[in-house]
Structure 1
Amino acid sequence: MYQFFVEPGQIQGNKVIITGKDVNHIKNVLRMKAEEEISVSNGVDGKEYRCGIKELSGEEIICEVRFIREEGVELPAKVYLFQGLPKADKMEWIIQKAVELGVYEIIPVAVKRAVVKLDGRKAESRVLRWQGIAGAAAKQSKRGIVPRVRNVMSFQEAINYSRQADIKLIPYELAEGMEKTREVFGSLQPGKDIAVFIGTEGGFSPEEIETAAKEGVVPITLGKRILRTETAGMTVLSIIMYHLEQ
Structure 2
Amino acid sequence: MHHFFVSQEQISEKEIKILGQDVRHIRQVLRMEEGEELLVGDGEGREYLCQIQKIEEKAVIAWILEQRDSQTELPSEITLYQGLPKGDKMELIVQKTVELGVSRIVPVEMKRCVVKLDQKKAAKKRERWSLIAESAAKQSKRGRIPEVSEVKNFAQALQESSGEDVLLIPYECAENMGATRAIIEQIKPGSSVGIWIGPEGGFEEEEIEALKNCGGNVLTLGKRILRTETAGLAMLAILMYHLER
Answer yes or no: same fold by TM over 0.5.
yes
State the match for 1:213 in structure 2: 212
Contact 1:47 1:72 in 2 (8 A): no
State the TM-score, normalized to the length of structure 1.
0.97
Q: Give the counterpart letter for 1:104 in structure 2.
A: S
SS of residue matched to 1:12:
coil
CA RMSD, Structure 1 to Structure 2 (Å): 0.9
The answer on 1:123 being equivalent to 2:122 is yes
**Off by >3 Å, runs of 4+ in structure 1:** none
Per-residue CA distance 1:47-90 (angstroms, 9 max, x = gap): 22111100111221110111223252100000000010111111
SS of residue matched to 2:78:
strand
State the match for 1:15 in structure 2: 15
The answer on 1:40 being equivalent to 2:40 is yes
Per-residue CA distance 1:163-194 (angstroms, 9 max, x = gap): 22100011111122211100111111111100
Per-residue CA distance 1:77-128 (angstroms, 9 max, x = gap): 0000001011111110010000000000000011110111112100000010
Pairs within 5 Å for 1:27-176: 27-44=27-44, 46-176=45-175
Q: Give the counterpart letter for 1:177 in structure 2.
A: N
Gaps of 5+ in 1: none
Name which of structure 1's ranges 90-99 and 13-22 shifts more when overlaid on structure 2. Answer: 13-22
Instruction: Figure out how many residues of one structure are paired with residues of the other and give that number.
Output: 245
State the match for 2:2 in structure 1: 2
The answer on 1:227 being equivalent to 2:216 is no
Q: Cα–Cα, structure 1 residues 92 and 71, in superposed 2: closer, same or farther, change >3 Å?
A: closer
Contact 2:109 2:151 in 1 (8 A): yes
Name which of structure 1's ranges 140-149 and 215-224 shifts more when overlaid on structure 2. Answer: 215-224
SS of residue matched to 2:106:
strand
Gaps of 5+ in 2: none
Q: Cα–Cα, structure 1 residues 117 and 174, in superposed 2: closer, same or farther, change >3 Å?
A: same
